[in-house]
Chains A and B, each alone.
Chain A
Amino acid sequence: DTGVSQNPRHKITKRGQNVTFRCDPISEHNRLYWYRQTLGQGPEFLTYFQNEAQLEKSRLLSDRFSAERPKGSFSTLEIQRTEQGDSAMYLCASSLSGENSPLHFGNGTRLTVT
């Protein structure tokens, strides 16, 4: 098992364009989380899935953001009509169910909106 994989590692896009990121969790993990991290801050929760069900979305996730996990395996995070304020590191993490199951993070996708 190679751990949590995120693609791409870096994405530079022009304001107004749409971008999509992918996360492949550890295969047996049924929980998948998306976090966003800006410079000098800790990660902030965006959304999470239990299998294919999206159980919670943060108010940080505006209508321009959508996340899917169609088969309960990989997940995609799409940002439509990107804005400069969307520039951040987008982190994915996965875990087994259970409150104290360790989280495993991917290396993140760094988005720069010009």
Chain B
Amino acid sequence: KNEVEQSPQNLTAQEGEFITINCSYSVGISALHWLQQHPGGGIVSLFMLSSGKKKHGRLIATINIQEKHSSLHITASHPRDSAVYICAVPEYGNKLVFGAGTILRVKS
């Protein structure tokens, strides 16, 4: 079974700071998901990537398949970015194994 580790568990940043959240997994995968969960509980898919880098607005996700590691970066962070960020990898098919999440709080 794939083990997914995220760091840090908690992160507090000042508005405008550059943020990095890391994810490591134990078994080779075809794609990795980054998800965002707000206090209400709903989960939104941010990225699904299998190689290299993807960018969407102020969010950038990178993955190194050889090192089994991915990072999620947020540039020019804003209080509305405050949420739980979760990485997940497929065990098989679309059955996902999730990390415990990183709780991000951006202060104004």
Residue A69 lies at the interface, judged by CB distance under 8 Å to chain B: no
Q: How large is the interface on B (under 10, 10 to 19, 20 to 34, 35 or more residues)?
A: 20 to 34
Residue B42 lies at the interface, judged by CB distance under 8 Å to chain A: yes
Which residue of chain A has its CB nearest to the CB of B40?
A107
Residues from chain B with a CB closer than 8 A to the CB of A91 are: 41, 43
Instruction: Tell whether, in the assembled complex, residue A107 and residue B42 are in contact, meaning their CB atoms are under 8 Å apart.
Output: yes
Chain A: how many interface residues by the 8 Å CB criterion?
A: 28
Residue A85 lies at the interface, judged by CB distance under 8 Å to chain B: no
Instruction: Tell whether, in the assembled complex, residue B99 and residue A42 are in contact, meaning their CB atoms are under 8 Å apart.
Output: yes
Which residues from chain B sit less than 8 Å from chain A, CB to CB? Answer: 4, 30-31, 33, 35, 40-45, 48, 50, 86, 88, 90-101
**27 A-B contacts, Cβ less than 8 Å apart?**
A31-B93, A31-B94, A33-B94, A40-B100, A41-B101, A42-B99, A42-B101, A43-B98, A44-B98, A45-B91, A48-B95, A89-B41, A91-B41, A91-B43, A93-B43, A95-B94, A99-B30, A99-B93, A99-B94, A100-B48, A101-B94, A102-B48, A103-B33, A105-B43, A106-B42, A108-B42, A110-B41
Which residues from chain A sit less than 8 Å from chain B, CB to CB? Answer: 31, 33, 35, 37, 40-45, 48, 56, 89, 91, 93, 95, 98-108, 110
